[in-house]
Amino acid sequence: MARIFYSFALIIISPLIVFYLYILRGKKNQGYRAHFKERFGFVSKSLFTVKTKPLVFHCASVGEVLAATPLIKALQKAHPNLNILITCNTPTGREQILSQFKKTVACSYLPIDFPFATARFLKRIKPQALCILETELWPNLMAISHKKNIPVLVINARLSEKSQQGYQKVAKLTHIIMRSITVLASHNKTDAKRFIELGLETSKSHVTGSIKFDITPSEEQLAKVLNLKQLYSNNERFVWVAGSTHPVEHELVLSAHQELLKKQPNALLIIAPRHPEQFDKVAELLTQSPLSFSRRSQNNYNNEQVLLADTLGELQYLYGAANVSFIGGSLIRRGGHNPLESAAFSVGVITGPHTYNFDHVYPELTKLKGAVVVDSNDELAKQLITFSQNTKACQTLGIKAAQCVTKNQGAIQKTLNIINQYLEPKP
């Protein structure tokens, strides 16, 4: 009954959902209007021309795609003939899938969780298993998959105390979700305990750690970083990256950089807004400021004070080219973004206080002294000035950050061991 009410409510507000995605988001980013039929389960027939049933990975957006990439590539290496479909919710997520995997996987949007759309999607795709990254727990998707005997694997699962309280408010719907899970691989014992308290059978829970720690830069990636260092720093400038920044935070970051320039006139800020629709807005802010800047997309850098990173798929390399990074979404109440992309390249992290989206990462990272926390743009500026004047302390922060990543690796192999149990035998 709970799922009936949920589905009915979704259908009632469906005009608003379509208006939001196609009109509002589509106006800012045309990618939301492309492949729109997939939002209703009308996936292209070209996705299932391969005779073997696909293994489906659902990665909500860019962060989940980047986290899942090493896992999926390890799976491809172990099973070269495995048919894989990666679904997402956003155009940037889709672009990241295509960038990371080219034509080695199929790609589509996950349908909106209408029962008819989900049923159509599953009927067309006929997946051998469904792997859901983190907490994208859609009731109809999971319940219908369970009914069709499609294994539902929730991997890299995390659940904050706040999210747990939210699920407890819709207990009957939550019970359906927990009952539909075949196996759950969580970050730690605390996350596992919260899922069990929501009704997940204890026998279905496994603690594997976070796959986000399993980042090892390749030689090709390190070469790209070296090229960027030569282009923007050449070991002569203090370079810091402000990655995944949001509105209001853009202004705070630019203000901190102006304070830094008073002490280090040669310093360079590379600012990478979280969403592409913010690129032009940040450019406008920079035009109105006293700061000189260029855009990464135009390849016309000439020692400006700010570089606007208005390209996709390059943030991890830009982190690697910096002396230190600031991870956005943390000076404002957005919960922060992934600091490990920076840490993996031995670049230390500065973060604001709002990091609840990564409360499975930051406690360890700060404990091992690979990250420092600031409460305001004034504190951010002071910390940047300190690091710019004390290169050894800045390098030590980066070394500690990389050590934290190495210490917590191993989740990918544990997760692969679980997934392998649910792969269908080769025909």
Q: Is the pLDDT of residue 359 over 90?
A: no
CB 44 within 8 A of CB 122: no
Q: Is the pLDDT of residue 25 over 80?
A: yes
Query: What pLDDT does residue 427 have?
Result: 58
Query: What pLDDT does residue 52 have?
Result: 77
289-346 residue pLDDT tens:
999 999 999 988 989 999 999 998 899 999 999 999 999 999 999 999 999 999 999 9
Query: What pLDDT does residue 2 have?
Result: 86
pLDDT tier for residue 357 given thresholds of 50, 70 and 90? confident
Q: Is the pLDDT of residue 45 over 80?
A: no
Distance CA 143, CA 169 (A): 19
CB 296 within 8 A of CB 311: yes
Token output for 103: 């034509």
- Over range 402-411, report the average pLDDT: 95
CB 129 within 8 A of CB 55: yes
Structural domains in the chain? 28-211+410-420 (3.40.50.11720), 219-407 (3.40.50.2000)
150-194 residue pLDDT tens:
999 999 999 988 889 999 999 999 999 999 999 999 999 999 999
Q: Is the pLDDT of residue 407 over 80?
A: yes
Percentage with pLDDT > 70 across the chain: 98
Query: What pLDDT does residue 235 have?
Result: 64
Query: What pLDDT does residue 425 have?
Result: 77
Distance CA 294, CA 373 (A): 29
Query: What pLDDT does residue 51 have?
Result: 65
Query: What pLDDT does residue 29 have?
Result: 87
180-234 residue pLDDT tens:
999 999 999 999 999 999 999 999 999 999 999 998 898 999 999 999 999 998 6
77-96 residue pLDDT tens:
999 999 999 999 999 999 99
Query: What pLDDT does residue 267 have?
Result: 96
Query: What pLDDT does residue 160 have?
Result: 85
The residue length of the chain stands at 427
Query: In the annotation, is 64 catalytic?
Result: yes
pLDDT tier for residue 50 given thresholds of 50, 70 and 90? low
55-65 residue pLDDT tens:
999 999 888 99
Query: What pLDDT does residue 79 have?
Result: 94
242-300 residue pLDDT tens:
999 999 999 999 999 999 999 999 999 999 999 888 999 999 999 999 999 999 999 88
Percentage with pLDDT > 90 across the chain: 85
- Over range 16-40, report the average pLDDT: 93
- Over range 344-360, report the average pLDDT: 94
95-128 residue pLDDT tens:
999 999 989 999 999 999 999 999 999 999 999 9
